[in-house]
A and B are shown apart, each in its own frame.
Chain A
Amino acid sequence: MTDRLATRFAACKEAGRAALVTFVTAGDPTVTATPAILDALVAGGADIIELGMPFTDPMADGPAIELANLRSLGSGTKTKDIFHLATTFRARHPHTPLVLMGYANPMLIRGSEWFANQCREAGIDGVICVDTPPEEDAEIGPALRAAGVHLIRLATPTTDAARLPTVLDGASGFLYHVAVAGVTGKQQAAQTAVEQAVEKLKAATDLPIAVGFGVRSAEQAAAIGRVADGVVVGSAIVDIIGSHGDAAAPFVQEFVATLSGALKANSPHFRETAA
């Protein structure tokens, strides 16, 4: 199996820009609306898709994504629907990496092997399990590795140098740097803090570094894209879905295109052609 994540990060690096990682919640607002929204992300220029697996109690999320979780569950989204969305996405977009992000309980309710196999069969490239730190790796890590699915770990502002090796041990795909100590979509990190953090992480690992939490605008994305290998945008997109509901796809595509444009404008190739 080709490693779509590695291939995509390498291609972006080759193009001299950061990868655009976009997050939406599966089934928000409905399972029927999601395929068009996912296609809009790709059409807008997203390099990697993070698909949120809804949970009744998303403790690490701020109001925007929490509401998305509740909209999705409220409209009846089931786990089987999420894997179906992934499977059909994979058929339409054979090369775009797809990462499932969510909480341990819905992922592990039928056992980690069941979950890991479903991921592999649906063409999911990686998993972020927000509430399973390295200390509880045995719950999910071995099964994902056996199935050839990346377990993507998070490093945060509270992950100090002494702890970082613990986080990196068993991490694969990329390293997700959570830029603020907080929940999704709330505060913004200071650019200098992001730069210092990315520098430290790069010194410690060869994994690509994607930075997320609180990235809302094209300007911010561009600034972070100058130092990181990937930029994650979630709540800002989810807010658009919150306001436009079933009709959100074109608005999502338009917004994602501005993010993508801003990251591409960082590229030396782009600057050459523009000059």
Chain B
Amino acid sequence: MTISNSLRSQPDASGHFGSFGGRYVAETLMPLILELEKVYKEAKQDPTFEAEFEELLRSYVGRPNPLYYAGRLTEALRADSPDGKGAKIYLKREELNHTGAHKINNCIGQALLARRMGKKKVIAETGAGQHGVATATVAALFGMECKIFMGAKDVERQKPNVFRMKLLGAEVIPVVSGSQTLKDAMNDALRHWVSNVHDTFYIIGTAAGPHPYPELVRDFQSVIGKEARQQIVEIEGRLPDLLIAPVGGGSNAIGLFHPFLDDVDVKMIGVEAAGEGLTGKHAASLAGGASGILHGNRTYLLQDEDGQITEAHSISAGLDYPGIGPEHSWLHEIGRVQYMPITDDEALASFQKLAALEGIIPALESAHAIASAEKVAPTMDADQIIVVNLSGRGDKDIFTVADALGVEM
């Protein structure tokens, strides 16, 4: 196998994944983006950078987290499957990380880069507050000043995470522009960054944005797939048949998928949020969008015929974004990964099912992946293996779920 035949050698030198990705930013940001690219290249060559990253993942984040065989879920699905059907379902337990989701992996990596670039201030955008909490956490760990941009509507909806961020010493800035949700938080973070480029590092929370962000976020999150690969081989003596992960911007999914991209027998499903259904309000940019340019990259976007961005909807705030990381757009176009829409209602059902069957309350984002596994496992042979990324824990979502179920708390 030569490097050029590998699906793991993207992006190209100019930051493109096929026709996606790139660097669509204002000129003011270009020099900084180019510097970040240079610093990241150097860091990748520097064994002390990797050693420090790995040590923090071990001692601070709590890695490696387990790969857990979800026996009761597997058996429950087999009971409703034809004879000999019902694949084994394993869960990659990202929800056991410090701060309760995969987001921290990326934040540690980017904070190390910020320090390398001599920046003492970090900013981030957040929707549900998971990435905001993870960023505030590493800012405290590294002694950096931290500002979190969060849509005013989300500040209202996610009070516990807002308080967490404040406890961690971050300033939470409610964004009142536009639709007052994640995409507007990202706009305002970019506006702040452009005005403070000299001393501020932008910790982007997903595998999107201008090059080199999609690449470096993927690399930091690839620890998920590397661990899962080693663990499944230890347990089962072979690679899995299918990987499933939820896709907001796509960081946990690409982190799981990337180390397996060249393993032709490993299939992959990225789960998009279909909200109220693809004919109603949703957040499935691959199933319901088209190629366009937003937030520094060319990728699939929800937009109208004039290229105006339309509002996304998902019950899961972490999937409620009208775009997707550019590498996913590319993997979708070349057909390497299949993307499946899952609705709010399906995710809600799986949220409850996993809690009841396995004693694990998943994040609503992760519940989308569980719902997908529930659909696919019964069509696969009983000796086949699925690995689902349990990207986060669901404590943050209990109010939303109670509300959706009409339960008074």
Interface of A toward B, CB cutoff 8 Å: 55-63, 66, 70, 73, 78-79, 103-109, 130-133, 135-136, 139, 153-160, 163, 167, 178, 180-183, 186-187
Contact = CB atoms under 8 A, between A and B. Distances in A.
Interface of B: 14, 22-32, 177-178, 183-184, 187, 190-191, 194-195, 197-198, 292-296, 298, 301, 303, 305-309
A183 B305 contact: no
Contact of B308 (A73, A139, A154, A181): A73
A157 B28 contact: yes
Contacts of B197: 158, 181
Given A57-B183, A163-B30, A181-B195, A109 B25 contact: no
8 contacts: A57-B295, A73-B308, A131-B296, A132-B24, A132-B293, A158-B31, A159-B30, A182-B195
B25 A133 contact: yes
Given A57-B187, A105-B307, 14 more contacts: A57-B309, A61-B191, A78-B306, A105-B293, A109-B292, A109-B306, A131-B25, A133-B24, A136-B23, A158-B28, A158-B30, A159-B27, A159-B31, A167-B27
Nearest to A131: B24
A63 B177 contact: yes
A160 B294 contact: no
A186 B23 contact: no
A156 B27 contact: yes
Contacts, number: 115
A62 B191 contact: yes
B294 A136 contact: no
Given A56-B178, A59-B295, A156 B28 contact: yes
Nearest to A135: B23
Given A133-B25, A135-B23, A186 B308 contact: no
Contacts of A63: 177
Given A135-B30, A163-B31, A106 B191 contact: no
A136 B30 CA distance: 11
Contact of B31 (A61, A160, A178, A182): A160
Contact of B194 (A107, A108, A182): A182
Contacts of A163: 30-31
A212 B29 CA distance: 17
A59 B30 contact: no
A154 B239 CA distance: 51
Contacts of A62: 191
A57 B309 CA distance: 7
A108 B293 contact: yes
A104 B25 CA distance: 10
A158 to B, nearest CB: 5
Contacts of B30: 133, 135, 158-159, 163
B26 A130 contact: yes
B237 to A, nearest CB: 47
A133 B293 contact: no
B306 A183 contact: no
Contact of A181 (B24, B184, B194, B301): B194
Contact of A106 (B22, B178, B195, B307): B307
Contact of A131 (B14, B26, B307): B26
Nearest to B292: A105
A105 B303 contact: yes
A57 to B, nearest CB: 5
B17 to A, nearest CB: 14
B195 A183 contact: yes
A154 B26 contact: yes
Contacts of B295: 57, 59
A187 B106 CA distance: 33
Nearest to B184: A57
A178 B27 contact: yes
A59 B187 contact: yes
Contact of A57 (B23, B294, B306): B294
Nearest to A78: B306
A130 B198 CA distance: 20
A78 B351 CA distance: 42
Contacts of A153: 27
Most buried by B among A105, A108, A132, A139: A105
Contacts of B305: 109
Contact of B27 (A56, A73, A107, A133): A133
B294 A105 contact: yes
A58 B177 CA distance: 10
A56 B308 contact: yes
Nearest to A132: B24
Question: What 6 pairs across the A-B complex have the smallest Cβ distances?
Answer: A109-B307, A182-B195, A106-B307, A105-B307, A104-B293, A156-B28
Contacts of B14: 135
Contacts of B27: 133, 153-156, 158-159, 167, 178
A156 B31 CA distance: 10
A30 to B, nearest CB: 17
Contacts of B22: 135-136
Contacts of A182: 28, 194-195
A186 B195 contact: yes
Given A57-B294, A70-B178, A106 B306 contact: yes
B283 to A, nearest CB: 16
Contacts of A109: 292, 303, 305-307
Contacts of A56: 178, 308-309
Contact of B307 (A108, A155, A167): A108
B81 to A, nearest CB: 45
Most buried by B among A62, A107, A178, A181: A181
Contacts of B29: 158
A19 to B, nearest CB: 21
